[in-house]
């Protein structure tokens, strides 16, 4: 007798359950990883999320970077760009598609620069170049300022604009240098040394130096992360203010300098007389806030790590729903176009029915009724006229029978005196009076000979 090796059949999974288990296995096995490759098929729909593929010579993988992450990125991917991603490995359950969820991206090669930055930072910090006791204070009022920057960049324009508004009496001496490229390091070091020689020789009096440039990538700002520039700033007898890039950019030059400003414009405000104490207070608050935020983030990060082990973060579902929403958006647009075509066809059908039921036929029938009523009205008017005419004839005969004129036709006459009064009493007419006798035909003039 043969027996099966197992008496229990394996469970049957739905496609959704299978994809969900696969995603959990991937996310549970991999922590955050760095992946480097070339961008292709980049898309940025109206939701604000980024979707693209990352490929090399032998393979490719789909990637997604959601809006709450990409809005803080200074690098926007483009097809053909070589980038480096910090990401989580996941699977989009809706299509069963293996994908990477990006948390941070940068140009390829930026990682090596960041490592070099950290090595130099640690080295100079160990030597004490960042120590607060080595920082030189600014004078109570800066009357003459040396600015080391590119003569054609935005930084010098921003600095001069602020100083003209806040302290137009300040003397500004521009020491033009290249701020990126192979020649930048040598020119910056030489400019710092030249300004100190002028001060020592008494040729030009300077109260402070401002080393500055506008924002850019890590590669663009690299000249200010070189050891030679850091040591030139540390060796300067003049107090040095550093303002490199944007507020989020921190360079080695910023750490070595006596004072650091977030931007060129902020540096100009710092050097203006009416803002020194406020800037110092803001820096203290910023450092205190940054420390508290760092502690809070570290504590929250630990709590989040523990919670993620116990409960799937709803952000995962939100991100998957965001991808699903992008797909539904496209389906909705197609459905709207189909609906519009159907409505246009239905409208054409209704227009045909409306023309078939035009009120012109009813108006024609009503015109016939109006014509019949008009004929009846005319017959009624004529009948009424005949009746009225007959009645008028009867009344005329009746009136004629009682009329004085009828009496005259029977041979009678009407006498009237000279005043037109009708004579009724012969005794009242004097002899010789003139009378008028109206007959049926004409009138006679009479003289009274006597009365009886």
Could you give the C-alpha distances from 384 to 378, 389, 390, in angstroms and in order? 10, 8, 10
Write down the pLDDT at residue 274. Answer: 61
Edge-to-edge strand list for the sheet holding 434-438: 414-416, 434-438, 443-447
The token duo for 310 is 């116990």
Write down the pLDDT at residue 26. Answer: 85
Write down the pLDDT at residue 308. Answer: 72
The dotted CATH code for 15-108 is 2.40.50.140
Write down the pLDDT at residue 5. Answer: 45
- As a whole number of angstroms, the distance between CA 244 and CA 179 comes to 10
Contacts 24+ apart (CB under 8 A), 347-351: none
pLDDT under 50: residue ranges of the chain: 1-6
Identify which of 162, 127, 359 has the alpha carbon closest to the alpha carbon of residue 272.
Answer: 162
Write down the pLDDT at residue 120. Answer: 84
The token duo for 286 is 């910023």
The whole model's pTM is what? 0.42
- As a whole number of angstroms, the distance between CA 109 and CA 368 comes to 95
Domain with CATH 2.40.50.140 in the chain: 15-108
Domain with CATH 3.40.50.261 in the chain: 136-271
Write down the pLDDT at residue 141. Answer: 85
3-state secondary structure the chain: CCCCCCCCCCCCCCHHHHHHHHHHHHHHHCCCEEEEEEEEEEECCCCCCEEEEEECCCCEEEEEECHHHHCCCCCCCCCCCEEEEEEEEEEECCCCEEEEEEEEEEECCHHHHHHHHHHHHHHHHHHCCCCHHHCCCCCCCCCEEEEEECCCCHHHHHHHHHHHHHCCCCEEEEEECCCCCCCHHHHHHHHHHHHHHHHHHCCCCCCEEEEEECCCCCCCCHHHHCHHHHHHHHHCCCCEEEEECCCCCCCHHHHHCCEECCCHHHHHHHHCHHHHHHHHHHHHHHHHHHHHHHHHHHHHHHHHHHHHHHCCCHHHHHHHHHHHHHHHHHHHHHHHHHHHHHHHHHHHHHHHHHHHCCCHHHHHHHHHHHHHHHHHHHHHHHHHHHHHHHHHHHHHHHHHHCCHHHHHHCCCCEEECCCCCECCCHHHCCCCCEEEEECCCCEEEEECCCCC
Match 């075509």 to its residue by tokens.
341
Tens-digit pLDDT profile for residues 135-165: 999 988 889 999 999 999 889 999 999 988 8
The number of C-alpha atoms within 13 Å of 328 and in the hemisphere containing its C-beta is 8
The token duo for 131 is 């120590």
Q: Select from 1.50.10.10, 3.40.50.300, 3.40.250.10, 3.40.50.261 the CATH code of 136-271.
A: 3.40.50.261
The token duo for 166 is 């806040």
């Amino acid at each position: 007798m043969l027996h099966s090796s197992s008496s229990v059949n394996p469970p049957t999974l739905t496609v959704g359950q299978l994809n969900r288990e696969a995603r959990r296995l991937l996310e549970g096995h991999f922590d955050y990883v760095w992946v480097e490759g070339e961008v292709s098929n980049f898309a940025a729909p109206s939701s604000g999320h980024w979707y693209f593929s990352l490929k090399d010579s032998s393979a490719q993988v789909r990637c997604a970077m959601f809006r709450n992450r990409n809005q803080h990125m200074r690098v926007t991917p483009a097809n053909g760009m070589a980038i480096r991603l910090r990401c989580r490995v996941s699977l989009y359950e809706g299509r069963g598609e293996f994908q990477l969820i990006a948390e941070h991206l940068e140009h390829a090669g930026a990682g090596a620069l960041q490592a070099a930055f950290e090595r130099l930072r640690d080295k100079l910090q160990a030597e004490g170049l960042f120590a607060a006791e080595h920082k030189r204070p600014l004078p109570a009022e800066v009357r003459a300022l040396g600015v080391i920057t590119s003569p054609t960049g935005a930084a010098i324009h921003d600095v001069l604009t602020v100083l003209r508004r806040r302290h137009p009496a300040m003397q500004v001496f521009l020491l033009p240098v290249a701020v990126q490229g192979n020649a930048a390091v040598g020119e910056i070091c030489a400019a710092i040394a030249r300004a100190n020689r002028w001060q020592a020789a008494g040729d030009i009096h300077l109260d402070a130096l401002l080393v500055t440039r506008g924002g850019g990538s890590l590669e663009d700002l690299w000249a200010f992360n070189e050891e030679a520039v850091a040591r030139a700033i540390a060796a300067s007898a003049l107090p040095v203010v550093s303002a490199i890039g944007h507020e989020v950019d921190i360079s080695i030059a910023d750490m070595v300098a006596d004072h650091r400003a977030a931007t060129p414009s902020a540096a100009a405000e710092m050097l203006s007389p009416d803002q020194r104490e406020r800037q110092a207070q803001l820096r203290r608050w910023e450092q205190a806030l940054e420390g508290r935020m760092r502690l809070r983030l570290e504590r929250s990060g630990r709590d989040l790590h523990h919670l993620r082990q116990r409960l799937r973060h709803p952000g995962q579902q939100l991100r998957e729903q965001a991808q699903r929403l992008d797909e539904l958006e496209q389906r909705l647009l197609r459905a709207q176009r189909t609906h519009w075509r159907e409505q246009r066809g239905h409208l054409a059908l209704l227009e045909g029915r409306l023309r078939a039921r035009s009120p012109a036929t009813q108006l024609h029938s009503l015109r016939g009724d109006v014509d019949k009523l008009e004929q009846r009205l005319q017959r009624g008017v004529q009948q009424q006229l005949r009746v009225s005419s007959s009645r008028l004839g009867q009344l005329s005969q009746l009136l004629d029978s009682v009329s004085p004129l009828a009496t005259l036709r029977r041979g009678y006459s009407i006498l009237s005196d000279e005043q037109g009064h009708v004579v009724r009493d012969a005794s009242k007419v004097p002899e010789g009076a003139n009378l008028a006798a109206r007959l049926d035909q004409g009138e006679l003039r009479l003289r009274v000979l006597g009365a009886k």
